[in-house]
Amino acid sequence: MRIPLELETRDDGSMRFPMMRVNLCWQRKGVSVLALVDTGADLLAVDDRVLAALSCPKNGDVHGVRTAHGETDHFRYDIEIEFPAALAPSRIDVTGIDLTGKSYLAILGVPLLELGVLHVDPRGESYFELYADCLAAPPR
């Protein structure tokens, strides 16, 4: 299954970042968000405000997140994610982080990328091709 990507450019016209629209939901509440597809991230993360608005439960785990500025601990949450093209939602475990000021409200890292092939073409079509045998498998 092919999931379309949007390419976002910085204000100065440099760098194009792949973005994917996904639906995040919990217990019949849901929201459509733009998610950064990040080949350098080893996690799935969602903005803390989205998790709070959906009343997503903490699952008791804490995840240490390393960035260029150091490492900080963040809570992990249960949430459901639904990709375009009417796939059934899959329950996943995400890390809650502060994405204030970003144009996206989620980060989809390696756990998503392991399920398919990322195709980024700044002059043509960009998409994520989900492997057929992963259609029912949620990202870890």
pLDDT tens across 57-96, in order? 998 777 677 766 777 888 899 998 887 665 667 788 899 9
Higher pLDDT, 64 or 31: 31
Please determine, looking at this structure, whether the domain spanning 2-134 carries the CATH number 2.40.70.10: yes
Q: What is the pLDDT of residue 115?
A: 87
pLDDT, the chain, mean: 85
> Of the segments 42-46, 120-124, 134-138, which one has the largest average pLDDT value?
42-46
Q: What is the pLDDT of residue 105?
A: 96
Quote the radius of gyration of the chain (alpha carbons, Å): 15
Higher pLDDT, 35 or 69: 35
Residue-wise pLDDT tens digits, 119-130: 998 888 999 998
Q: Return the structure tokens found at 128.
A: 């994520």
Query: Which residues are within 8 A (CB) of 93 and not within 5 positions of it... i.e. 6 or more apart?
Result: 44, 59, 61, 76, 77, 78, 140
